[in-house]
């Protein structure tokens, strides 16, 4: 009698989620013969995941952009769910991307599929009511930030705090600093580039003695950075961590890259600007005063943040000079790194999914 082949469906809607999905899929495939399909990117595809839709087609940022693209979002939700139904997986693994993934998870769990969430939605910042859905719609949630586990457990969620998968990608990275190089990360979405590139270009013009390098985001084209290239700025793709690691300082537009910069030992300024409508709505609903992951994790302002009205060329210039003249951030990084726990989160998450969803496997062979 032929045994049923185990199947897993992974959904990652952003570049960082694609990296984590690739790591988890690699660990699962190293221990099983499971078939893995999903929505994601090149990292997941490179380890053997059959990708039917790439995340570059999915991400809409900001309240206004989401409203404008509701039709496309609904169409993608319908398409994704249809693929899951036809595939009939043993497990559905959702990675970050909560606006989309939590809707899929609701249907997935109700249909009887084992459903998991890697990277917890930021219920401590806004939409705290989501904790009810996390309790109802997931077999387990794998929070990445150290303080999230207690919040989830208090809400009755099966929280499995197994560490941050980002650490697994830094294990062997070592770079030599280039004394005059400054990394610029203006974001990955086109809306972010439109807001941040003009500021970064103007800033670069004020520091002729420094070498500014822009890290091109996955899914973007060189033409998206035409404002910068026409002004003589270097834009390099596929080298984000190398650019961050070799730079003495960086200016980063929020997101996972703020944590990456700190883990690479690079001083940074967090700079973020969005449309007036998006900012007004965010101010009304968000319960926190910090946006950078290093600051949120440490509970202190170890990295300067310039948000919305404070995000001006003048302020960026002042803060860049300040961090170049100080080593305070560097002394905080070791403490931050320790708070994130041990490497190996991807393997631990993969093993949990295997043990709890691929039940016919030989459990004794798992570490």
For 123-178, how does the pLDDT look when each residue is reduced to its tens digit (9 = 90+)? 766 667 899 999 999 999 999 988 899 999 999 999 999 999 999 988 667 899 99
Q: Quick one: what percent of the chain has pLDDT higher than 70?
A: 87
Does one domain contain both 40 and 128? yes
- For residue 66, pLDDT beyond 70: no
Of 61-65, 185-189, 236-240, the least confident: 61-65
Question: Is 1 part of any domain?
Answer: no
Handedness of CA 135, 168, 12, 146 (dihedral sign): positive
Does one domain contain both 136 and 228? no
Strand partners, 216: 237
Does one domain contain both 151 and 297? no
- How sure is the predictor about 291, in pLDDT bands with cuts at 50, 70 and 90? confident
**Residues 30-39: what's their mean pLDDT?**
96
Does one domain contain both 324 and 357? no
- DSSP annotation of 126 reads S
Does one domain contain both 155 and 196? no
Question: Is 152 part of any domain?
Answer: yes
pLDDT at residue 180 in the model: 95
Does one domain contain both 76 and 159? yes
Query: What is 293-307 written as a DSSP string?
Result: HHHHHHTS--S-EEE
- What pLDDT digit, counting tens, does each position of 92-132 carry? 999 999 989 999 999 999 999 999 999 999 876 666 789 99
pLDDT at residue 277 in the model: 58
Q: Is 92 helix (H, G, I), strand (E, B) or coil?
A: strand
Question: Is 2 part of any domain?
Answer: no
Tally of CB atoms within 10 A around 50: 12
What is the average pLDDT score of the chain? 88
**How deeply is 245 buried, as exposed, middle or buried, from its count of CB atoms within 10 A (0-12, 13-18, 19+)?**
buried
If you search the block for the tokens 């980063």, which residue do you land on?
252
- For residue 306, pLDDT beyond 60: yes
**What tokens were used for 314?**
């003048």
pLDDT at residue 192 in the model: 87
Number of domains in the chain: 2
Does one domain contain both 360 and 298? no
pLDDT at residue 156 in the model: 97
pLDDT at residue 334 in the model: 80
Question: Is 79 part of any domain?
Answer: yes
Does one domain contain both 198 and 325? yes
Query: What is 34-86 written as a DSSP string?
Result: -EEEEEE-HHHHHTT-EEEEEGGGT---SHHHHHHTHHHHHHHHHHHHHHHHH
Higher-pLDDT residue of 333, 289: 333
Does one domain contain both 200 and 96? no
**Residues 207-234: what's their mean pLDDT?**
93
- How sure is the predictor about 321, in pLDDT bands with cuts at 50, 70 and 90? very high
Whole-angstrom distance, CA of residue 75 vs CA of residue 82? 11
What does the radius of gyration of the chain's CA atoms come to, in whole angstroms? 21
- For residue 202, pLDDT beyond 50: yes
- How sure is the predictor about 276, in pLDDT bands with cuts at 50, 70 and 90? low
- What pLDDT digit, counting tens, does each position of 2-21 carry? 457 899 999 999 888 999 99
Domain CATH number, residue 267: 3.40.50.2000
Question: Is 194 part of any domain?
Answer: yes
353, 345, 362: which is closest to 169 by C-alpha? 345
pLDDT at residue 203 in the model: 96
Does one domain contain both 142 and 211? no
Higher-pLDDT residue of 189, 185: 185
**Residues 288-304: what's their mean pLDDT?**
85
- For residue 78, pLDDT beyond 90: yes
Question: Is 74 part of any domain?
Answer: yes
Question: Is 182 part of any domain?
Answer: yes
Does one domain contain both 206 and 126? no
pLDDT at residue 333 in the model: 83
Question: Is 50 part of any domain?
Answer: yes
Does one domain contain both 250 and 264? yes
Range of the domain at 183: 178-339
Inter-axis angle of helices 256-263 and 328-339, to 10 degrees? 110
């Amino acid at each position: 009698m032929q045994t049923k082949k185990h199947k897993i469906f992974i959904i990652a809607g952003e570049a960082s989620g694609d990296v984590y999905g690739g790591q988890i899929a690699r660990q699962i495939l190293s221990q099983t013969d499971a078939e893995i399909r999903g929505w994601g990117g090149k990292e997941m595809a490179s380890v053997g995941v059959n990708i039917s839709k790439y995340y570059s087609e999915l991400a809409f940022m900001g309240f206004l952009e989401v409203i404008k693209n509701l039709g496309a979002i609904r169409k993608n939700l319908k398409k994704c769910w249809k693929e899951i139904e036809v595939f009939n997986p043993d497990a559905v693994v959702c990675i970050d991307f909560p606006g989309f993934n939590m809707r899929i998870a609701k249907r997935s769990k109700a249909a009887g599929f084992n459903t998991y969430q890697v990277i917890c939605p930021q219920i401590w910042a806004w939409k705290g009511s989501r904790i009810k859905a996390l309790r109802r719609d997931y077999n387990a949630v794998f929070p990445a930030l150290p303080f999230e586990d207690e919040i989830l457990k208090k809400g009755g969620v099966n929280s499995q705090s197994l560490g941050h998968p980002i650490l697994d990608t830094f294990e062997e990275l070592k770079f030599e600093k280039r004394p005059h190089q400054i990394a610029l990360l203006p974001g990955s979405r086109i809306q972010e580039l439109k807001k941040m590139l003009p500021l970064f270009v103007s800033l670069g013009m004020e520091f002729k003695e420094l070498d500014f390098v822009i890290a091109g985001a996955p899914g973007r084209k060189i033409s998206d950075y035409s404002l910068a290239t026409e002004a003589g700025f270097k834009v390099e793709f596929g080298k984000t961590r190398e650019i961050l690691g070799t730079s003495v300082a960086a200016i980063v537009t929020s997101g996972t890259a703020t944590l990456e910069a700190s883990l690479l030992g690079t001083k940074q300024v967090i700079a973020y600007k969005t449309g007036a409508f998006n900012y007004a709505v965010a101010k009304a609903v968000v319960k926190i005063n910090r946006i950078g992951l290093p600051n949120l994790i440490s509970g202190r302002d170890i990295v300067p943040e310039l948000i919305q009205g404070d995000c001006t060329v003048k302020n960026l210039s002042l803060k860049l000079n300040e961090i170049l003249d100080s080593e305070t951030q560097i002394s905080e990084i070791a403490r931050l790194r320790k708070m994130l726990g041990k490497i190996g989160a991807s393997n631990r998450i993969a093993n949990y999914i295997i043990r709890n969803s691929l039940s016919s496997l030989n459990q004794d062979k798992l570490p």
